[in-house]
């Protein structure tokens, strides 16, 4: 059974095929770090919006006031501020 030319091109190593070659390590790392930072920021904003949406009675039940929301969220998401440059 003969193989088609398309099947043969799939076996070419990625190092010799310029189209299949991944981006340079600097750019892929840059994109990965940017994406991770965006995810951390979205979690930070989501949690802050949830806390801000609670009533004063609900906040009091969990031991917070409106003024504490920012500090509590900062403590909860220390990795967000720690990685900031």
Per-residue pLDDT of the chain (85 residues; tens, 9 = 90+): 454 444 444 454 555 555 555 555 566 888 888 888 899 889 989 989 999 999 999 999 999 899 888 888 888 877 665 555 4
**Domains in the chain: how many in total?**
1
Residue 71 lies inside a defined structural domain of this protein: yes
- At residue 28, the pLDDT reads 80
- At residue 29, the pLDDT reads 82
Q: What is the DSSP letter of 84?
A: -
**Rounded to whole angstroms, how far apart are CA atoms 45 and 48?**
5
Residue 82 lies inside a defined structural domain of this protein: yes
pTM of the model: 0.55
Encode 33-55: b = buried (16+ Cβ within 10 Å), e = exposed: eeeeeeebeeebeeebeebeeee
Domain that holds residue 65: 42-85
- At residue 8, the pLDDT reads 46
Residue 54 lies inside a defined structural domain of this protein: yes
Residue 69 lies inside a defined structural domain of this protein: yes
Residue 62 lies inside a defined structural domain of this protein: yes
């Amino acid at each position: 059974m003969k193989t088609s030319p398309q099947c043969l091109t799939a076996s070419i190593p990625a190092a010799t095929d310029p189209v299949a070659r991944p981006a340079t390590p600097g750019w892929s790392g840059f994109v990965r770090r940017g994406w991770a930072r965006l995810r951390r920021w979205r979690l930070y904003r989501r949690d802050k919006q949830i806390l801000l949406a609670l009533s004063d009675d609900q906040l009091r039940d969990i031991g917070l006031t409106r003024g504490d929301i920012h500090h509590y969220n900062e403590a909860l998401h220390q990795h967000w501020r720690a990685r900031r440059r």
